């Protein structure tokens, strides 16, 4: 489309017809006024009417008290006619005679952008792109964009020019996801000649840039700046804990277990197998140490759920722990899994919250095989029934529905638990070696079976196998 042609065309139209003799004339643009009032009640808001022509919208907005108005049109004649109609009131309006596809606007200049029956003339994709560049640049984040075009079933031409007709999806689709579609309205416009034209209006909120590209409902959990450093650190918290609790200065064991349930730790402590470790600078937990296979290992109990598990895992990593192994009870998802049985988690479905603070949204978080394989091998060698595979991590065990159980079983999940995805995401993001072993204790939908995670003696055997695996994993790492 050549700029002069557009201008010449519209000059000819307005030169030949009075304002109320054109097909788009309405005494008042009621739909536009209602949407503008919905966008802002602030009478000092900056509002631009793009391709305002000779319409009475500006008159009505002035009457409503809006005082920062701009009217843009490619036709000087149309602007002059409107100015003359307004008389003295025209002095309080900014007038721009320009083609919307080439005009230069300052950034974030407007709170509301209104366009009735202009965008649909842009049949050339380059013109539409130029238009969208301008609306994107000059409407403030948090501002609104109202676009009215011919709707589906509307005319194919207007004023002798071909148009594009839109439904709300296709019109919104032109603008991109930074324009959150708040509403759409269909209007049957009666022309001065007694015919009816179907119009479609989209009412969009302009998102902050950081929210661009998200779904129309922007859940904060899906929008974390995962590349940015945290302002609050485990180092800072542990330094406070060290001072206030006057903890010892001994180095932490290289291998530490997170015993999510805690019963095993209680038993180890009762038996004198595990003893408090005084150099653990933590406000929320006690660490115990125990000798396994000639290696001193740490164990922290009841770090249940992704947030708590990762809170403690962050502190363990900060304190120099090289391998963190979570030991959890879990519900059976794969019907063929023996009960009780062990699952070494190689991946976890991220149906929880914590992982999204570490990794961009994706369905799964994984555990590297140089961690899972030695663990599965040692456990098998100790006589346990072991499967390596995917688990489903949830934040809300009492919200596990039958449909979800079936779906995740079909997608290969063996068991459901509450930490793996969070810990794996933390491990991936922070470069920490992390593993999760699940003691599958029950069928989630129960079918009359008792909870059975196996005995505490078996628990100790599991820890011993994990310690052996840990040694081999850390030796592997040292050799690397």
Ligand X SMILES: C[S@@+](CC[C@H](N)C(=O)[O-])C[C@H]1O[C@@H](n2cnc3c(N)ncnc32)[C@H](O)[C@@H]1O
Establish how many alpha carbons lie within 13 A of residue 287's alpha carbon, considering only the half-sphere containing its beta carbon: 29
Tokens (6 digits) for 358: 């570490």
Residues binding ligand X (CB under 6 A): 6, 10, 24, 51-53, 55, 73-75, 78, 99-101, 116-118, 121, 158
Q: Which of 29, 83, 75, 18 is nearest to 56 (CA)?
A: 29
Closest to ligand X by CB, 116 or 439: 116
Q: Are 416 and 444 in contact (CB under 8 A)?
A: yes
Tokens (6 digits) for 136: 């994107």
> Could you tell me the smallest distance in angstroms from the CB atom of residue 51 to ligand X?
3
Closest to ligand X by CB, 96 or 443: 96
Closest to ligand X by CB, 52 or 454: 52
Q: Are 31 and 148 in contact (CB under 8 A)?
A: yes
Rounded Cα distance, 308 and 144, in Å: 41
Rounded Cα distance, 171 and 173, in Å: 5
Closest to ligand X by CB, 3 or 451: 3
> Could you tell me the smallest distance in angstroms from the CB atom of residue 173 to ligand X?
21
Distances (CA, A) of 323 to 74, 297, 306, 336, 472: 68, 10, 17, 31, 11
Closest to ligand X by CB, 100 or 416: 100
Closest to ligand X by CB, 156 or 229: 156
> Could you tell me the smallest distance in angstroms from the CB atom of residue 63 to ligand X?
17
| Residues near 217 by beta carbon (within 8 Å), at least 6 away in sequence | none
Omega before 258 within 30 of 0, i.e. cis: no
Q: Are 240 and 282 in contact (CB under 8 A)?
A: no
Spell out where 91-193 has E strands: 93-97, 110-116, 139-150, 157-158, 161-162, 179-190
> Could you tell me the smallest distance in angstroms from the CB atom of residue 116 to ligand X?
4
> Could you tell me the smallest distance in angstroms from the CB atom of residue 183 to ligand X?
19
Q: How far is CA 366 from the centre of its chain?
A: 20
> Could you tell me the smallest distance in angstroms from the CB atom of residue 99 to ligand X?
4
Closest to ligand X by CB, 52 or 298: 52
> Could you tell me the smallest distance in angstroms from the CB atom of residue 141 to ligand X?
24
> Could you tell me the smallest distance in angstroms from the CB atom of residue 80 to ligand X?
12
Closest to ligand X by CB, 23 or 456: 23
| DSSP code string of 159-174 | TTEE---B-HHHHHHH
Closest to ligand X by CB, 99 or 111: 99
- DSSP label of 357: G
> Could you tell me the smallest distance in angstroms from the CB atom of residue 185 to ligand X?
14
> Could you tell me the smallest distance in angstroms from the CB atom of residue 310 to ligand X?
54
Closest to ligand X by CB, 98 or 443: 98
Spell out where 333-474 has E strands: 341-351, 364-366, 386-394, 413-417, 433-443
Closest to ligand X by CB, 18 or 477: 18
> Could you tell me the smallest distance in angstroms from the CB atom of residue 424 to ligand X?
53
Rounded Cα distance, 358 and 422, in Å: 8
**In 67-102, which positions are buried (b, 16+ CB within 10 angstroms) versus exposed (e)?**
ebbbbbbbbebbbebbbeebeeebeebebbbebbbe
């Amino acid at each position: 489309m050549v700029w002069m042609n557009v201008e010449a065309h519209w000059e000819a139209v307005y030169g030949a017809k009075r304002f109320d003799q054109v097909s788009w004339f309405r005494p008042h643009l009621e739909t536009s006024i209602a949407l503008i009032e919905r966008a802002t009640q602030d009478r000092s808001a900056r509002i631009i009417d793009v391709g305002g022509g000779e319409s009475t919208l500006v008159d009505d907005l002035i009457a409503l008290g809006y005082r920062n108005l701009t009217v843009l049109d490619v036709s000087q004649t149309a602007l002059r006619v409107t100015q003359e109609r307004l008389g003295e009131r025209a002095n309080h309006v900014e007038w721009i005679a320009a083609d919307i596809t080439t005009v230069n606007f300052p950034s974030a200049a407007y709170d509301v952008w209104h366009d009735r029956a202009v965008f649909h003339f842009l049949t050339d994709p380059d013109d539409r792109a130029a238009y969208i560049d301008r609306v994107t640049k000059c409407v403030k984040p948090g501002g609104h964009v109202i676009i009215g075009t011919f709707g589906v079933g509307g005319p194919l031409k207007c004023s002798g020019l071909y148009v594009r007709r839109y439904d709300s999806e296709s019109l919104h689709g032109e603008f991109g996801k930074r324009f959150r579609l708040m509403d759409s309205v269909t209007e049957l416009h009666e022309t001065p000649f007694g015919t009816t034209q179907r119009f479609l209006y989209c009412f969009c909120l302009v998102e902050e840039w950081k929210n661009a590209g998200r779904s129309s409902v922007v859940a904060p959990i899906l929008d974390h700046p995962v590349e940015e450093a945290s302002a609050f650190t485990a180092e800072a918290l542990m330094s406070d804990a060290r001072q206030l609790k006057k903890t010892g200065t001994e180095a932490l064991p290289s291998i530490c277990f997170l015993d999510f349930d805690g019963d095993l730790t209680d038993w180890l402590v009762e038996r004198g197998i595990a003893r408090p470790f005084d150099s653990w600078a933590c406000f929320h937990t006690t660490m115990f140490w125990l000798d396994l296979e000639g290696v001193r290992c740490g164990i922290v109990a009841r770090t249940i759920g992704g947030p708590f598990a990762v809170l403690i895992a962050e502190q363990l990593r900060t304190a120099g722990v090289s391998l963190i192994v979570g030991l959890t009870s879990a519900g059976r998802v794969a019907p063929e899994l023996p009960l009780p049985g062990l699952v070494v988690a190689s991946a976890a479905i991220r149906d929880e919250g914590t992982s999204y603070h570490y990794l961009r949204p994706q369905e799964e978080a994984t555990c590297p095989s140089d961690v899972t394989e030695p663990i599965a091998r040692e456990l098998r060698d100790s006589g346990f029934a072991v499967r390596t595979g995917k688990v489903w991590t949830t934040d809300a065990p009492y919200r596990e529905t039958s449909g979800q159980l079936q779906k995740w079983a079909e997608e290969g999940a063996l068991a459901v638990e509450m930490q793996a995805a969070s810990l794996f995401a933390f491990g991936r993001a922070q470069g920490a070696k992390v593993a999760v072993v699940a003691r599958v204790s029950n069928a989630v939908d129960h079918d009359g079976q008792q909870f059975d995670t196996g005995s505490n003696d078996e628990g100790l055997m599991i820890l011993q196998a994990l310690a052996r695996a840990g040694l081999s994993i850390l030796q592997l790492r040292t050799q690397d």
